């Protein structure tokens, strides 16, 4: 069944992988061997090793390539690793075990990633957010969920208990006690290379994917996320983004203040003249917020908002 579904992009993937290995071989005669070795280090991630976690052995292999042959060789290695990762994931037991909804989204992302060629090389830096998300998808360390990618091995620091001040401490303690602790959680992230479904329905579909994935990851305590757009003020300034906070909160999630920081300012003002102007005038102070949606509440929401 999976082989039939993969047919439409399998040929493209094979061609792009061979091309990437040829590019890599210009710098590394043993390119295929090194790419396979790099991937092997990611084969058995620790239960709380999120998508940004790079095994020391993989980092050492990459750094050795860069030291021997330069940055371009390292980039070619990573491009080939992404494409070979997709090929290996298609035939993996984990791919076959994915819930049908998630598998469909994963296959669409694989088809998109299968088109990566030399144009993707500028993103191929070991600690690049773009690379790590594409590599995470390729190797099933991240799951595709319409609007977002889903990291099944994340967690939240205990410092979250204190970021709202003493007045909010009891409520936050109760929240995490009822949820079952601080890890592991599914954590959702925006992938800047794919935002075609970043809208309300795409977001709701992501939540449904999380719920379906609880069967595969029964230890997960719920879903978390972090962004400036969970700030209640955003619903007033940018009402078209209100669903990002209001839908989960109406379904039993909690939005928690984290901090005022430069990253929140950068992200909140990046695409909106209105938010930039309000910030420049001192009328809007972007802040980082976290969303915590306990498993039981998210499952109940999905039952009330079922979709084919």
Span 42-63, average pLDDT: 94
Question: Which of 217, 219, 244, 240 is CA-nearest to residue 231?
Answer: 244
Structural contact between residues 242 and 234, judged by C-beta atoms closer than 8 angstroms? yes
Examine the pLDDT at 209 and tell me if it is beyond 50.
yes
295-308 pLDDT, tens per residue? 999 999 999 998 64
So what's the pLDDT on residue 10? 86
Question: Which of 145, 294, 285 is CA-nearest to residue 223?
Answer: 294
Examine the pLDDT at 290 and tell me if it is beyond 50.
yes
Examine the pLDDT at 177 and tell me if it is beyond 70.
yes
So what's the pLDDT on residue 4? 46
The burial class, CB within 10 Å (0-12 / 13-18 / 19+), for 97 is exposed
Under DSSP, is residue 100 helix (H, G, I), strand (E, B) or coil? helix
So what's the pLDDT on residue 307? 66
C-alpha 216: how far from chain center:
17
Span 145-152, average pLDDT: 97
The percentage of residues in the chain with a pLDDT greater than 70, rounded to a whole number, is: 97
| CA 67 vs CA 33, 42, 71, 197: distances in Å | 18, 22, 8, 40
Span 57-61, average pLDDT: 97
Examine the pLDDT at 3 and tell me if it is beyond 90.
no
Q: Where are the beta strands (DSSP E) in the chain?
A: 143-145, 148-154, 185-189, 222-227, 254-259, 288-294
Structural contact between residues 188 and 250, judged by C-beta atoms closer than 8 angstroms? no
Span 161-165, average pLDDT: 95
Examine the pLDDT at 2 and tell me if it is beyond 50.
no
221-253 pLDDT, tens per residue? 999 999 999 999 999 999 999 999 999 999 999
Mean residue pLDDT across the chain: 95
So what's the pLDDT on residue 7? 52
Examine the pLDDT at 206 and tell me if it is beyond 70.
yes
| CA 83 vs CA 146, 198, 279: distances in Å | 21, 25, 42
Examine the pLDDT at 109 and tell me if it is beyond 60.
yes
Give backbone dihedrals phi and psi of 246, rounded to 5 degrees, phi first. Answer: -65, -40
Span 271-290, average pLDDT: 97
Examine the pLDDT at 182 and tell me if it is beyond 70.
yes
The burial class, CB within 10 Å (0-12 / 13-18 / 19+), for 260 is exposed
Tokens of residue 92, six digits: 């993996």
Span 267-294, average pLDDT: 97
Span 48-54, average pLDDT: 94
So what's the pLDDT on residue 306? 83
Pairing of strands 254-259, 222-227: unpaired
Alpha carbon distance 30, 161 (integer Å): 50
So what's the pLDDT on residue 97? 98
Alpha carbon distance 151, 185 (integer Å): 8
Alpha carbon distance 158, 163 (integer Å): 10
Structural contact between residues 106 and 95, judged by C-beta atoms closer than 8 angstroms? yes
């Amino acid at each position: 069944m999976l082989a039939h579904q993969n047919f439409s992009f399998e040929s493209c993937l094979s061609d792009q992988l061979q091309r990437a290995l040829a590019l890599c071989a210009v710098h590394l005669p043993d390119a295929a061997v090194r790419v396979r070795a790099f991937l092997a280090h990611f084969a058995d991630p620790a239960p709380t090793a999120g998508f940004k976690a790079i095994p020391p052995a993989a980092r050492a292999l990459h750094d050795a390539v860069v030291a021997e042959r330069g940055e371009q060789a390292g980039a070619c290695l990573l491009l080939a690793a992404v494409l070979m990762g997709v090929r290996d994931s298609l035939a993996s037991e984990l791919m076959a075990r994915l819930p049908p909804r998630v598998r469909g989204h994963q296959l669409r992302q694989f088809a998109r990633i299968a088109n990566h060629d030399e144009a993707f090389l500028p993103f191929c830096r070991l600690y690049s957010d773009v690379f790590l998300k594409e590599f995470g998808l390729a190797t099933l360390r991240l799951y595709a969920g319409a609007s977002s990618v889903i990291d099944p091995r994340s967690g939240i620091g205990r410092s979250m208990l204190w970021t709202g001040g003493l007045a909010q401490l009891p409520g936050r303690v109760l929240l995490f006690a009822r949820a079952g602790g601080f890890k592991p959680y599914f954590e959702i992230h925006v992938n800047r290379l794919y935002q075609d479904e970043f809208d309300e329905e795409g977001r709701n579909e992501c939540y449904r994917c999380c719920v379906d994935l609880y069967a595969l990851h029964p230890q997960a305590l719920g879903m978390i996320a972090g962004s400036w757009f969970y700030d209640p003020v955003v619903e007033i300034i940018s009402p078209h983004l209100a669903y990002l906070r209001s839908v989960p909160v109406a379904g039993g999630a909690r939005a928690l203040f984290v901090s005022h920081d430069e990253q929140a300012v950068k992200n909140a003002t990046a695409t909106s003249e209105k938010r930039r102007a309000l910030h420049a005038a001192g009328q809007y102070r972007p802040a980082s917020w976290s969303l915590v949606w306990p498993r039981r509440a998210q499952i109940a929401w999905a039952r009330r908002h079922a979709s084919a």
